[in-house]
Amino acid sequence: MTDAVISESEIKDLMTEMAKVSTDNLKRIFSSAPASKSWEEIEERLSKGELLKDICELTDEYMEASYKDAREKLDNSDFDGAREIFYNLCLFDQSKPKYWGGLGKCCEKLKQYKEAIESYKMLTLVTNAAEPLPYLCLGFCHLKNNDKKSALEVLEEGKELCDPYDQEQSPLLEQFENLIAVCNKSLLSQLNIN
């Protein structure tokens, strides 16, 4: 993955930001943790790479029910409500692409493009930069954020992940090509103005 998509320092910054949840969220998170666990034990287990959902002993069924609730809110245009649930899902388990995708989509719908970009960057990370769709979402958000150069970089990278011989990816490839053309035209017109 190139620096244009996500750097190690950006990952650390994002994880630091995610750790700064509101007091209400912290109370809710740690009220889920068994009473026998001290903050020191929780902190130690997190530092060893354990997921917060496992430390708090949240079941896969609970996580899936929360995900379904978030999807329902998203589908019903309750983007703030869905964003809060997706945010917490990402905090509890950073390894699930569908959580990052949902958070990105909510932020995008709320026109919080910087936050959407960070979510989609994490999505590319958890999919090992192997899926083209997050790059399309990243490019769109960079364009909405008026950063055509970054948009062009991630769109070109995402286009490379598309299989030109796969009929199912044909519409996706076309979207990449169209957005890349928009970026190139816009960047070229900026050069002509200057």
Phi-psi region of 49 (alpha: psi -120 to 50; beta: other; left: phi over 0): left
- Single-letter residue type at 175: Q
Q: Are residues 121 and 144 in the same domain?
A: no
Tokens found for residue 55 = 């430390």
80 plus 2 within the same structural domain? yes
Q: CA-to-CA distance for 86 and 61, rounded, in angstroms?
A: 15
pLDDT at 157 over 60: yes
User: What is the reported pLDDT for 56?
Assistant: 82
Which position has the token pair 């950006």?
Answer: 10
User: pLDDT at position 37, please?
Assistant: 67
CATH code, domain carrying 108: 1.25.40.10
**DSSP assignment of the chain, as one string?**
--TTT--HHHHHHHHHHHH---HHHHHHHHHSS-TT--HHHHHHHHHTT--HHHHTT--HHHHHHHHHHHHHHHHTT-HHHHHHHHHHHHHH-TT-HHHHHHHHHHHHHTT-HHHHHHHHHHHHHHTTT--SHHHHHHHHHHHHTT-HHHHHHHHHHHHHHS-TT-GGGHHHHHHHHHHHHHHHHHHHHHHHH-
**Residue 7 pLDDT exceeds 60:** no
106 in the same domain as 143 = no
State the distance between the two ends of the chain, measured CA to CA, in whole angstroms: 32
- Are residues 2 and 44 located together in one domain of the fold? yes
**Higher per-residue confidence, 55 vs 38:** 55
Higher local confidence (pLDDT), 156 or 192? 156
Which residues contact residue 100 at a Cβ distance below 8 angstroms, ignoring those fewer than 6 apart?
90, 119, 120, 122, 123, 126
Q: Is the confidence at residue 25, as pLDDT, over 90?
A: no
At which of 128, 149, 169 does a domain end? 128
**Is 119 a residue whose pLDDT tops 50?**
yes
Alpha carbon distance 125, 7 (integer Å) = 10
- 99 shares a domain with 140: no
Tokens matching residue 164: 């030109």
* 90 and 147 co-located in one domain: no
- Do 116 and 182 have their domain in common? no
- What mean pLDDT is predicted for residues 69-85? 97
In the chain, how many domains are there?
A: 2
pLDDT, mean over the chain: 84
Residue 49 has a pLDDT of 85
pLDDT of 5 higher than 50: no
113, 128, 143 - which closes a domain:
128
Express as a percent the part of the chain with pLDDT over 90.
59
Is residue 124 located within the same domain as residue 137? no
* Same-domain pairing of 179 and 137: yes
Let me know whether 144 and 156 are in one domain.
Answer: yes
Average pLDDT over residues 143-163: 94
pTM of the model: 0.79
Residue with tokens 């960079």: 142
Could you tell me if 25 and 120 lie in one domain?
yes
Greatest mean pLDDT among 32-36, 44-48, 56-60, 107-111 lies in 107-111
Q: Among residues 110, 128, 146, which one ends one of the domains?
A: 128
- In this prediction, residue 188 has a pLDDT band, given cuts at 50, 70 and 90, of confident
pLDDT class of 112 with cuts at 50, 70, 90 = very high
Whole-number Cα distances in Å, 87 to 78, 107, 151: 14, 10, 24
Domain residues for 154?
Answer: 131-194
Indicate if 37 and 48 belong to the same structural domain.
Answer: yes
pLDDT given at position 3: 40
